[in-house]
Amino acid sequence: MGTIYLIRHGQASFGAADYDRLSDLGVTQSAVLGRALLSRRPRTDRIVSGTMLRHHQTAEACLEAMGLPRACERDSDWNEYDHQAVLRVYDPRYADPGTMAAELASSEDPRRRFQEIFVASMRRWVSGRHDTDYAESWPSFRGRVNGALARLNTSLAKSQGALVFTSGGPIAAICSSLLNLAGEDALHVNSKLANASVTKLVCSTSTVHLSTLNEHAHFEGGEGSLITYR
């Protein structure tokens, strides 16, 4: 049986002008993860990453900690969904970033208000009632990442292993397919995925099984302050 380790990126720069960049904490999380993976010595016959900067930076810090070359294959099908597009469809006013910023600034709790807006927009996206409104619908997104998984699995020889550096959305979408979960359940899974966590898949030539979900014990105990979800 082969193994594929789906790795969520380390903490990105939430609230910054460029979200698609690891925070200092995110780099530390990625290095701690690398040391934990080294002690487990997973097979690393293939190393794949989405094309987003936070994927690359997570891979670099993790692989460096493992003592492995930092080069990896890039596949945009492992990229996250476009959350800004989902927000714009939910409320066209958010096409202007200033509108969102002003609304949050006037709120008593900007982070909570953003979460309310974000959850509502995501529920609309996965509901199945508005698929034609989106450039990439939820079924299309789930098909994209499951297609990336299928290609990777079929390219692995027997007993080979792969590391995949990606985002929470693709991991949740794959798990929702493997567990036959509805879209709203996938959102719940996504919200609980820790930064720099590991989800392990066990694969044969024809099947993929979920072995573990959202492993982040490498951050427990003395490293508990490293556990983040955004």
Can you spell out the DSSP letters for 22-45?
B-HHHHHHHHHHHHHHHHH----S
Pairing mode, strands 2-8 and 161-166: parallel
pLDDT for 27 equals: 96
Mean pLDDT of 176-192: 95
- pLDDT beyond 70 at 14: no
Q: Is 131 exposed, middle or buried (0-12, 13-18, 19+ CB in 10 A)?
A: middle
pLDDT for 18 equals: 62
- pLDDT beyond 80 at 212: yes
pLDDT for 15 equals: 59
pLDDT for 88 equals: 96
- pLDDT beyond 60 at 28: yes
- pLDDT beyond 70 at 181: yes
Q: How far is CA 162 from CA 5, 150, 227, in A?
A: 6, 13, 24
User: Is 142 in a helix, a strand, or coil?
Assistant: helix
Confidence class for position 211, pLDDT limits 50, 70, 90: very high
- pLDDT beyond 90 at 41: no
- Distance (Å, whole) CA 39 – CA 23: 25
pLDDT for 196 equals: 97
pLDDT for 39 equals: 87
**Through-space distance between the first and last CA atoms of the chain, rounded to whole angstroms:** 33
Within the chain, all domains assigned CATH 3.40.50.1240 are found at 2-79+136-226
What is the separation of C-alpha 158 from the centre of its chain, rounded to a whole number of angstroms? 26
Mean pLDDT of 168-177: 97
pLDDT for 187 equals: 95
- Distance (Å, whole) CA 137 – CA 72: 28
Among the listed residues 143, 142, 136, 153, the one whose alpha carbon sits nearest the alpha carbon of residue 48: 153
Digit-coded pLDDT (tens) for 93-110: 999 888 988 988 998 998
CB 75 within 8 A of CB 50: yes
User: Is 17 in a helix, a strand, or coil?
Assistant: coil
- pLDDT beyond 90 at 87: yes
pLDDT for 101 equals: 87
Of the CATH numbers 3.40.50.1240, 3.10.20.30, 3.40.50.300, 3.40.50.1000, which one belongs to the domain with range 2-79+136-226? 3.40.50.1240
> Average pLDDT over the chain, rounded to whole?
93
pLDDT for 97 equals: 83
Token pair, residue 58, equals 């997570």
